[in-house]
Copies of this chain bind each other. A is one copy, B any other.
């Protein structure tokens, strides 16, 4: 029995390709010391932040992914062997197990997943890191009020699709920006966004946002950066709140792209722009999961998942997600 895994073979210059990854076959780990346990992974998560980890030339909130080591990433699976009193064989657990079929863990950063709550794959999506990012990012950084106009970029991705729905729960008028007509339909019809548009068919985002939000926007939840964010900043209302959650349009740049200096607009509107990282909210994760699960149960939240099959397809799933090929949460099913 072998453990197939994906390692980082080389660092990308610009957009990553399949050649930056390598599939390896290694022995399945065993728990040889007290405290250790082995997880058979069922689902892997691929997320935009991993692009940042692939580079070692820029300042980040985390160290770069080492070359020739298993790719970092959240995953969920079942404990198949344990020498840890807190995690028993048969338990479903979620943690940073990486892109591999079997993982050895000491329990650091691992949480048990209740499979009666929702399908266990949701522990990587709406009831996991992306769901918590949306919950705390929107509610804590953006403080949405009933009647506020909320603009979300990357709106059909995991985080964006949850943000828009939470904003609707809070009584906001929600506008989504996504990259295909199908995604726009999904946002409007399945997720009940008030407005949505396909950024690939629009050249003047300033005018488009003004058309959809003639009074301006109170909250902008940013997953993408670049020209869309410029246009959002130029459409802020007084005392608007902007959360910078991701800048996916910029992640492949070796040097910062140039854009218009717009900080004067913050004086005009007395708005704030704030960066967001979900791990800052770790002490409140329980609260976030409980609330998201409750909304899910009440039918106030819905979610979509998109799967690739097999560890060998994790790089493909990742590259597809980076290009916006997913609607909802992109996962790999092992």
Q: Which residues of A contact B (CB under 8 A)?
A: 59-61, 222, 225-226, 229, 234, 244-247, 250, 255-277, 280
Contacts and interface: CB of A to CB of B under 8 A. Distances in A.
Contact of A263 (B61, B244, B277): B244
B261 A259 contact: yes
A34 to B, nearest CB: 35
Contacts of A258: 258-261
A275 B246 CA distance: 21
B274 A271 contact: yes
Contact of A274 (B245, B255, B259, B266): B266
A259 to B, nearest CB: 5
A275 B280 contact: no
A144 B15 CA distance: 40
A258 B262 CA distance: 9
Shortest 6 CB-CB contacts between residues of A and residues of B: A266-B275, A256-B260, A272-B274, A267-B275, A258-B258, A259-B261
Nearest to A266: B275
A61 B273 contact: no
Contact of A261 (B225, B245, B280): B225
A259 B259 CA distance: 6
Given A244-B264, A267-B276, 8 more contacts: A59-B265, A59-B268, A60-B268, A225-B263, A225-B264, A256-B264, A266-B275, A270-B277
A49 to B, nearest CB: 9
A234 B244 CA distance: 16
A280 B255 CA distance: 38
A242 to B, nearest CB: 9
9 contacts: A61-B269, A244-B266, A246-B267, A247-B261, A257-B260, A258-B258, A266-B275, A267-B275, A269-B275
Contacts of A269: 61, 275
Contacts of A225: 261, 263-264
Contact of A272 (B222, B262, B267, B275): B275
A268 B60 CA distance: 5
Contacts of A245: 267
B277 A267 contact: yes
A247 B244 CA distance: 22
Contacts of A274: 266, 270-273
Contacts of A265: 59, 275
Give the residue among A222, A250, A260, A269 with the most B Cβ atoms within 10 A. Answer: A260
A256 B267 contact: no
A246 to B, nearest CB: 7
Contact of A61 (B246, B247, B268, B276): B268
A226 to B, nearest CB: 7
B267 A271 contact: no
A255 B259 CA distance: 12
A22 to B, nearest CB: 28
A258 B230 CA distance: 12
